[in-house]
Amino acid sequence: MLRNAPKFHEVAKRILEITEETIFVAHNTSFDYRILKTEYDRLGYNFKRNTLCTLELSKKLIPDMDSYSLGKLTRQLGIPITQRHRASGDALATVKLFKLLLDKDLDKNIIIENIKNTSKSNLPKNLNEILDELPNSTGVYYMHNKTSDIIYIGKSKNIKKRINQHFTGKDNKSNKLQLNTISVSYDETGSELIALLKENNQIKLHKPIYNRRLRKTVYPYGIYKHYDENNYINLKISKIDLTKKPLTTFKNINNAIAFLNKLINENNLCQKLCGIYKSKDSCFRYTIKECSGACINLEKHEKYNERLTKAIGYLNFENQNFAILDKGRNIGENSFVLVENGLFIGLGYFNLNFQVDNIDVLKKILIKMDDNKDNQQIIQRFLKKSRGIKILHY
């Protein structure tokens, strides 16, 4: 391998060029960085770069692993590695590990600290320069001010397009973002569900100054279910009762009514039993032969209740354990969202060469997040509108 390789002095200038204004990332950085620095010392040049060590970051962000060597760590995390102990194989594995660590760093300390370290000045960048560095892909973006603080967080199916809208907007918020943004960082997610969940989590965690929505979203209305005297399941919209658990919640009553009407139409349900049509007799849908007569006891309650339960099943995760598998950030991976005992516990990515037959492995690479009403709503709505999404129950 080394017989025809160039001498270090022959590639030294090129290494300086490709590492200029970059951060040196390696697994056990002290070893690799020391090798480079020693070689440049021999040439009489003081090589200096900011560094990040994936070994140290792994110990902090993924505790309790059996080993933190690159080979054993990547194997435990389901990260494929080829040509072990060869430059390209180890480098690619380190890149994949580093991406996982960036995902797990919910506080964004890695990004924020290195924006501080690599920023040449406190002067804002040209907004067009910022746009040039952004991808046309789905993800979450973070807008930073001159002190590297996160001032706004958003999500989009096209990050570059959305940031461009912020930079060209004429409203008050857009003007403030244009004036105060000097850099934009981002997490590509591939999956819109992951983007929605990350955006919700990050806004609540960082509380950016220009984010108002999602800081503390209030859902004052809910849908509740009960059995009537004839053993039919009834649904009812009402204001949130803290002593009872709703099937789902809404920001206003009109959204709740629209949701129930759609549920009724798609599942041949009874308007009267769903609380939409007040009557002592049959509902309107029965008169046009679109209701099977549960409202006047013609349809057996067992049959009606079974259909209704199936229709609202995705609204209630109680005691359920499942993973939602969706597309990843590239063709070689999938994303997953984990729900355990009815609670959203986190999300992550895995390589498609890895067979998902052991949930414990997914839990090791899981990015843990808090369960809250917003996350429950996001998952419920995603499951309702999406087709072809794989659900893995365990």
Could you please report the per-residue DSSP string of 285-310? HHHTT-S-SGGGT-S-HHHHHHHHHH
374 vs 293, more confident: 293
Half-sphere exposure of 246 (CA within 13 A, CB side): 19
* H/E stretch holding 349: strand 343-351
Q: May I ask the CATH class of domain 109-206?
A: alpha beta
In the structure, what pLDDT confidence band is assigned to residue 139 with cuts at 50, 70 and 90? very high
Q: Around 386, how many Cα atoms within 13 Å sit in the side-chain half-sphere?
A: 18
- The token duo for 61 is 């962000």
pLDDT of 110 strictly over 90: no
Token duo for residue 258: 């629209």
> What is the reported pLDDT for 213?
64
Residue 123's pLDDT is what?
Answer: 42
- Output 329 or 319, whichever has higher pLDDT: 329
Is 80 exceeded by the pLDDT of residue 101? yes
What DSSP designation does 315 have?
G
Helix, coil or strand: residue 168: helix
pLDDT the model gives residue 374: 83
Between the alpha carbon of residue 232 and those of residues 1, 84, 341, the distances in Å are 76, 63, 27
pLDDT band at 86, cuts 50/70/90? Answer: confident
Q: pLDDT tens for residues 197-223?
A: 999 999 988 999 998 765 555 678 889
Pick 152 or 132 by higher pLDDT. 152
85 contact partners, CB below 8 Å, separation of at least 6: none
Of 94-108, 114-128, 317-331, the poorest mean pLDDT is in 114-128
| 73-82, 101-110, 337-346, 357-366: range with highest mean pLDDT | 337-346
Task: Transcribe 330-342 into DSSP letters.
Answer: STTEEEEEEEETT
**CA pair distance 363, 338, nearest whole angstrom:** 9
The residue-averaged pLDDT of 48-55 equals 89
Nearest to 375 by CA among 328, 321, 339, 334: 339
Q: How many CB atoms lie within 10 A of CB 162?
A: 16
Q: Is 365 helix (H, G, I), strand (E, B) or coil?
A: coil
Mean pLDDT of the region 229-257: 89
Query: For the chain, what percent of residues have pLDDT higher than 90?
Result: 46
Report the Cα 81 to chain-centroid distance in Å: 25
Task: Please tell me the pTM assigned to this model.
Answer: 0.67
DSSP 3-state of 185 = strand
CA angle at 233 for the pair 227 and 234, rounded to the nearest 5°: 90
The whole-number pLDDT of residue 296 equals 94
pLDDT at 122: 42
Q: Does CATH place domain 8-104 in 3.30.420.10? A: yes
Bridge partner list, 249: 222
Q: Any idea where the domains of the chain sit in the sequence?
A: 8-104, 109-206, 221-315, 322-393
Higher per-residue pLDDT: 388 or 389? 389
Q: Decide the pairing of beta strands 233-239 and 322-327.
A: unpaired
Check pLDDT > 90 for residue 188. Answer: yes
**pLDDT(365) > 90:** no
> 118 pLDDT band (50/70/90 cuts)?
low
